[in-house]
Amino acid sequence: MLSTVVTKTFLERWKGEVVAAIVLALMFYLGMAVYRDIDLRVYTDLPEAMRSLMNIPPDADVGALAYGAIYSAYGALTISAMAIAMGSASIAGEERKGTMGLLLGNPKSRSHVLVSKAVNIVALSALGAGILWVAGIVVPDMLSVDITGIAVGALMVHMFAIAVFHGFVAMAIGAWTGKSTLAAGTATALMVISFFAVGLLPLFDSLANGVRAFPWYYYSGTDPHINGMDWGHLSVLIALIAVLGVLSVIGVNRRDLRSQETRVSLVDRLRAYPQTRKLVDRLAGSTRVSRIWIKTASENQGILIVVAYVMFLMMGLMIGFMYQFIDDALVRLADSFPEEVMALFGGGDMSRPEGFYQIETYGLMTPIAFMVVTVLIGAKALAGEEADRTMGLLLANPIKRRTVVLEKTAAMAIHAFVVAFALWAGVVGGSLVGGLDMSIGNIAAATGLGMLLGLVFGALALALSAAFGRTRLAVYGSIGLALACYIANGFLPFSEGLEGIAKWQPFHYYLSSDPLINGMNWAHGAVLLSLFVVLVWAAVVLFDRRDLRQTG
């Protein structure tokens, strides 16, 4: 019996934090090794606004470039994402799993449980930042890179503060609402919007001061890896963390907590209407044990709606509308952007609407959107049923194990298609609104390749879930590999000796053929589809051969 909530939560979460930090450290090593072999004028000759976006000083050397472009951006986003996962699971996650009653059955108050969870957000974020701190000292020494003048410690302190802030945002929302998905989604949206706002608003003189309204500014606004710690900015983040902590305590003590998450599924909503009841009963079955793919799709309806809405409206429709107003600024900057640099953001000519969409929508946000949906379903598909002790109920019916895997895969594919359709419709609408005259077929090609890329990593999560029966391992493993592949896809082409390796990872087959301009590359699509099929087949084999757990 674990003695404290702090100890229990720490032991459940520390492995994921360590894995994420180690993956980032390896990417830091790779990036610094590549930077040694290229002409740094590719970066230092960029316009001032672009260097500000990438945290690159005008006289950047190898060390400053590696810390600014890798640690300051990817490192902070990853450590913050880990904190968000902990924050959303702190109260709302316990309610969803039905374990809050067990915790409060001990002589512990609600405030004690919440404070214990908050301590873990702080401790595990410190653990992740600490590992990156050590790597930030050791890697340059291994590669004989001079980092004199680089304030590694200051960067790690700022990174720790922004991670704890986002974790407390998720914790506060979960404490007030009891909804873990809402908590994680809102905190993640705040992080992503803040990150891009702080990077993009300085491009426009009239909007430059608006960055002060976004939390990310108080993390990276003074370039702590170059200028050291800014105590004023740290004080703002610490004050916000304290306020969020107080709000969390108030929220968790004012609300009736649930013993288990209850929600009306999409199937039940459709059954409530006479017009759709007959069709749904035919698809799902009239008994409570519905077809597995219907059940899985219904359970994940919330995150699907959020992702589809964001991709349709914000990353599709609104981007076309924005292009009308910022096109001139982009044209002036376009000639200054080396092709190698733009590859880090998905590549593309920003003076063309296709290039702008490729950088703003398809380069980073589209893979993230698809993976949020596919990896979540893939990780929970099998390991989640085992953790919830419902796998035995499923397999007690006259169905084979492989049927469970394949129907879960079908639900994953359906969700990915819905997101793809929303994205395609949004970009087509944005093209029409902005008068951009983009090819509808080429938009479908880029969207289809993005969907296949998301399905590859979703199938990887499914295979890990089938092999180990651990949800967190499936999530961290697939997302960690996706992050490594994304960064490698941006860095490897810079090195003459390593550029061929880029073809051995899935991201190469996503945008390297410029599908928004050239249309579908069927060979690339076939590679991604083959990877998806192989990983699903592996999941079937692994699940067939493993002894399943009957406890979480």
DSSP 98-154: T-HHHHHTSS--HHHHHHHHHHHHHHHHHHHHHHHHHHHHHHHHHTT---TT--HHH
Amino acid 215 reads: P
Of 360, 333, 370, 336, whose CA–CA distance to 516 is shortest? 360
pLDDT at position 332 over 60: no
Three-state DSSP class for residue 513: coil
Residue 16 included in any domain: yes
Q: What pLDDT score was predicted for residue 538? A: 94
Residue 282 included in any domain: no
Residue 294 included in any domain: no
Q: What is the mean pLDDT of residues 422-443?
A: 90
Same domain as 463, residue 327: yes
Q: In degrees rounded to 5, what are phi and psi of residue 266?
A: -60, -40
Q: What pLDDT score was predicted for residue 287? A: 39
Q: Residue 203, Cα to own-chain centre: how many angstroms?
A: 25
CA angle 15, 17, 21 (to 5 degrees): 115
Residue 287 included in any domain: no
pLDDT at position 518 over 80: yes
Most confident of 310-324, 350-364, 396-410, 442-456: 442-456
Q: In degrees rounded to 5, what are phi and psi of residue 258?
A: -95, 145
- Do residues 471 and 383 touch, judged by C-beta distance below 8 A? yes
| CA 84/CA 168 separation, integer angstroms | 8
pLDDT at position 329 over 90: no
Q: What is the mean pLDDT of residues 530-540?
A: 95
Residues in the chain: 552
DSSP code at position 547: P
> What is the overall mean pLDDT for the chain?
77
Residue 283 included in any domain: no
pLDDT at position 166 over 70: yes
- Do residues 123 and 200 touch, judged by C-beta distance below 8 A? no
* CA atoms within a 13 Å half-sphere pointing along the CA-CB vector of 484: 21
Same domain as 307, residue 375: yes
Q: What is the mean pLDDT of residues 130-155?
A: 84
Domain endpoint, select from 235, 262, 289: 262
| CA 68/CA 466 separation, integer angstroms | 38
| CA 491/CA 69 separation, integer angstroms | 11
Same domain as 518, residue 424: yes
Same domain as 319, residue 250: no
Taking the model in full, what pTM does it have? Answer: 0.64
Same domain as 147, residue 33: yes
Domain endpoint, select from 239, 262, 285: 262
Q: What is the number of other CB atoms lying within 10 angstroms of the CB of residue 537?
A: 14
- Do residues 418 and 304 touch, judged by C-beta distance below 8 A? yes
Same domain as 308, residue 200: no
Q: What is the pLDDT of residues 183-241, one digit of tens each?
A: 887 888 888 788 877 876 776 666 778 888 899 999 988 888 778 889 999 999 999 99
**What token pair was written down for 448?**
């289809």
Q: What is the pLDDT of residues 75-124, one digit of tens each?
A: 888 888 889 888 888 876 666 666 666 666 565 678 888 888 899 999 99
348 Rama class: left (phi>0) / alpha (psi -120 to 50) / beta: left
Q: What pLDDT score was predicted for residue 218? A: 92
438 Rama class: left (phi>0) / alpha (psi -120 to 50) / beta: beta
Q: What is the number of other CB atoms lying within 10 angstroms of the CB of residue 7?
A: 12
Residue 291 included in any domain: no
Amino acid 191 reads: M
| CA 394/CA 392 separation, integer angstroms | 5
- Do residues 248 and 168 touch, judged by C-beta distance below 8 A? yes
Task: Count, in order, helices (H) and strands (E) of the chain.
Answer: 28, 0
Same domain as 528, residue 458: yes
C-alpha dist (Å) from residue 163 to 80, 127, 169, 187: 4, 12, 10, 11
Number of compact structural domains in the chain: 2
- Residue with the two structure tokens 């939390």: 215
Q: What is the mean pLDDT of residues 306-335?
A: 66
For residues 10 and 506, the model is more confident at 506
Same domain as 62, residue 209: yes
Q: What pLDDT score was predicted for residue 245? A: 93
Same domain as 304, residue 254: no
DSSP code at position 37: T
Long-range Cβ contact pairs of 224-227 (< 8 A, separation 24 or more): 224/151, 224/154, 224/155, 224/157, 224/158, 225/55, 225/64, 225/67, 225/68, 225/71, 225/72, 225/150, 225/151, 225/152, 225/154, 225/155, 226/57, 226/64, 226/68, 226/149, 226/150, 226/151, 227/151, 227/154
Same domain as 386, residue 244: no
Q: What is the pLDDT of residues 234-263, one digit of tens each?
A: 999 999 999 999 999 998 888 766 555 445
Residue by residue, DSSP assigns 262-302 as ----HHHHHHTSHHHHHHHHHHH-SSSS--HHHHHHHHTHH
Q: What is the mean pLDDT of residues 501-513?
A: 84
For residues 543 and 524, the model is more confident at 524
Q: What pLDDT score was predicted for residue 539? A: 92
Q: What pLDDT score was predicted for residue 104? A: 62
Residue 269 included in any domain: no
Same domain as 541, residue 407: yes
Residue numbers of the domain that contains 53: 1-262
Q: What is the mean pLDDT of residues 55-80?
A: 70
- Do residues 337 and 455 touch, judged by C-beta distance below 8 A? no
Domain endpoint, select from 234, 262, 290: 262
Q: What pLDDT score was predicted for residue 95? A: 67
Long-range Cβ contact pairs of 139-143 (< 8 A, separation 24 or more): 139/25, 139/28, 139/29, 139/32, 140/32, 140/63, 142/29, 143/29, 143/32, 143/33, 143/36
Same domain as 305, residue 202: no
| CA 127/CA 286 separation, integer angstroms | 50
- Do residues 346 and 362 touch, judged by C-beta distance below 8 A? yes
- List of residues 6+ apart from 428 with CB closer than 8 A: 316, 438, 440, 443
Residue 32 included in any domain: yes
